[in-house]
Structure 1
Amino acid sequence: MIELDTMDRAILRALVADATQSASALGRKLGLSQPATWRRIRRLEEAGVITGRRLELDAEKLGFGVTVFLGVKLATKGRVSLEDFERAISAIPEVQTVEHILGVFDYRLRVVARDITDFERILRRRIMMLPGVGDVEANVLLSEERRPGPIG
């Protein structure tokens, strides 16, 4: 585990807010030189604290107005391997995340659709047709507040 000082944490908070910032701009905000900022960011990347920078898309503006969290319980765990299910479910483009969880369900999926009718089509024709799918529970997302993880 890497030791993080207050400046490391400030850099992480700033990058979580806007990962497109240059080391120069970030350094100016935090009172560091560009090389010092770059070295700190590089150290955090090498230690695995920063694992990448991702592009965030607005699903609604792309025509996907409905997000559904789907709990999936596999009916026949012995007959279908978890890897086979994960590979098959990940091939469905509307499935944004696949989380293997502990609890009532085996998986939690984040699925985007154009509308409820489109979601029903995806559920009936794509997800429910996968081998091993048993119980399913859907929760429609009403609103979302984006909160970054704890940085301290």
Structure 2
Amino acid sequence: MKKKNKRLRRIILFIMVIIASVLIMLASYVLQQNKHLMTYQKSLAKLPEVDQVLEISEYSGMESYYVAKVLLTTDLEYYYFIKDDIVEYSYPVTDLMTAQQAVKHALASHQGTVTHYYLGIYDEKPVYEVEISSTRGEEYVIVDAQSGDIVLQFVIN
């Protein structure tokens, strides 16, 4: 009977060690990601035209790049799209719709719950990628951030 209890204890301890290891790796990944974003934020703030970095995020779609909302020294807010440490595109915030407006456009033709949305670039134009969870599966709707038109849509089952 004691051998069975020892074996059960060892199995439980082994499972707990695996769970703890996974949690530590996940925490390490999250901390590294935040550190990486902070590095980009600091380097952007050093640009002569940038007064302050208001938001920054990483977009990983067909291409990976950073999207930063910056306040310029002229008191204008811009979105900078940065790839390979170069500002590839920049748009005034006032020229693009808000994320809530993009979500509204996406939900106008799709039923479900929005699970995420990102500002990005598609075919050299600013777009919002909106993911909608529905009974059909995960629906991706790409909304033109300037006009609100649906550029692309597909379902992943």
What TM-score results when the alignment is normalised by the length of structure 1? 0.30
What TM-score results when the alignment is normalised by the length of structure 2? 0.30
Greater RCO (Cα-Cα under 8 Å, separation 6 or more): 1
Query: Which protein has the larger Cα radius of gyration, Structure 1 or Structure 2?
Result: 2
